[in-house]
Structure 1
């Protein structure tokens, strides 16, 4: 199924080794690793993924379900990389010379504000890239709310940042969120369209009047529900500020924990919104890049009993 070669370097005291194989059939990265290395435990293979010891076509990948294509070359280093290569509190999903995709935890700002200037996703990544070269920089491409977890894309140089932002509509193919909302959403799917405008108090309002805001379109699908909560998969056709949060309020099912937009309870101790999927065209190679994370366990806890 796969062609494997082994390369070894020869330091004076310790032998470092890596294994390389060429992909012959498409499938998720972890399953291909299990097939390629039957003598290695699944636990070990997950660890080398987590520790950024795997490259696909010379690009570091940490996502276990990263889709592989025939002809790609996978290199596995069995020696753990230096701990300074990993930013504490931020999971790097993918990295190459031009971009970084991370899974941001809830509670962490994307970028500094007047009240918080130190610990942000931006500052953590800035410190991370400077460990390799003090002149390295990170550039913000887009943002997600502080209390929203999930996928964020950053550029590693200004040229790439501008290219993505200037071609955003054609470059970003899909943005998928998981929303835990109040109440039972009985429709299997739906589309919400309105015009959004932000007040001086930084609250976004929804209107059907095209003259008082920017058009926002949100598509949703109900994944599961009970009498108290529903879990929705949400796809953005437009990317307005607080779009999902306002649109969930519009249909009478606010995002749990979202006191600003109609929620009255905090059953999971955080905002029930997670940026699960991101699909885009790579700004340099024009390859289609697809990333997806799991549903936060706290969201699933709402449906452990009385599942519909």
Structure 2
């Protein structure tokens, strides 16, 4: 994989390392190129070091060495529901019941397994970079970076709040307000399991914003946006205020209407890691959640 740019008049005279930093090549990424025989930096087709002084009109190309794959990750080849793809990102629609990554006692069947198989099919030499994970039973949009440069850029935009997801959920009972926020710290519930989380004073700060879309006889249909990304955050917060998600038996939700927790990642917007174009994706509710309505 390589990236290239043409230097502008305003960039003339700066050191090559400064030029690359301005184009979002981090110290870590630059080191991976400098200290690997398969990585190199070229200016007008000639290899240069980072102390070269850039001239207006220079064509600068950085070649990244091949990424190391996880040899323990088993490749699987069932088709993925790909919503969008280019050389840098992949947006997919994950079905409920599919984990994002394999676990010790579940080494197969995850998104990561299927991504590895897909990459082998299209000849992409890249590690698996999942930017936005979803719980096994949560359906909807996931964002994947197809290389380390895209992953680093997207991680920074996520920290800056420029990468957002919105969810739809069905919670038991009826909330007092049509909209609001839940602010409560979340930590491990180590007394029960390593997976389960809880609201606890020594947990990490967490904030969940919600808006009611409609009320039904036994539940509220909500739109939810997170300001933090704690494990199980939506599920924990709504259980904490007495309105667990339908189907979420881990956090006290009833399972008569649905065999999995009623949570769907339906909206994703981001700034593209290379072009810095604003991008937005939305998908409808899956059939099992549509059936509840």
TM-score normalised to structure 1 length: 0.66
Match of 2:274 among 271, 277, 284: 284
8 A contact 2:184–2:199 mirrored in 1: yes
Q: Distance in 2 between matches of 1:253 and 1:125?
A: 35
Q: CA deviation at 1:167?
A: 3.9
1 CA distance for matches of 2:158 and 2:109? Answer: 27
CA deviations on 1:164-201 (whole Å, 9 max, x unpaired) are 22442226432100111111234211110011111332
- Distance in 1 (alpha carbons) for counterparts of 2:79 and 2:245: 25
Q: Quick one: distance in 1 between partners of 2:210 and 2:154?
A: 26
**Aligned counterpart, 1:269:** 259
The whole-number CA distance in structure 2 between the counterparts of 1:198 and 1:229 is 27
Equivalent residue number for residue 204 of structure 1: 197
Q: CA deviation at 1:137?
A: 4.0
User: Which of residues 73, 82, 99 is equivalent to 1:92?
Assistant: 82
Distance 1:134 1:279, change over 3 A: closer
Aligned partner of 2:247 among 241, 247, 257 = 257
Q: 1:30-72 deviations in whole A, cap 9, x for unaligned? A: xxxxxxxxxxxxxxxxxxxxxxxxxxxxxxxxxxxxxxxxxxx
Contact in 1 for aligned 2:171/2:222 (Cα 8 Å): yes
Tell me the equivalent position of 1:215: 205
Equivalences for residues 1-308 of structure 1 within 5 A = 88-133=78-123, 135-170=125-160, 172-200=162-190, 201-202=193-194, 203-207=196-200, 209=201, 212-303=202-293
Q: Which residue of 2 aligns with 1:23?
A: none
**How many angstroms apart in 2 are the aligned matches of 1:134 and 1:274?**
29
Q: Counterpart in 2 of 1:13?
A: none
**Higher Cα Rg: structure 1 or 2?**
2
Q: Runs of at least 4 residues of structure 1 off by over 6 A?
A: none
| Unaligned residue ranges in structure 1 (runs of 5+) | 1-86, 304-308
Please say if residues 169 and 224 of structure 2, whose CA atoms lie closer than 8 Å, have aligned partners that are also in contact: yes
Q: Secondary structure at the match of 1:214?
A: coil
Match for residue 34 of structure 1? none
* Structure 2 unpaired stretches of 5+: 1-76
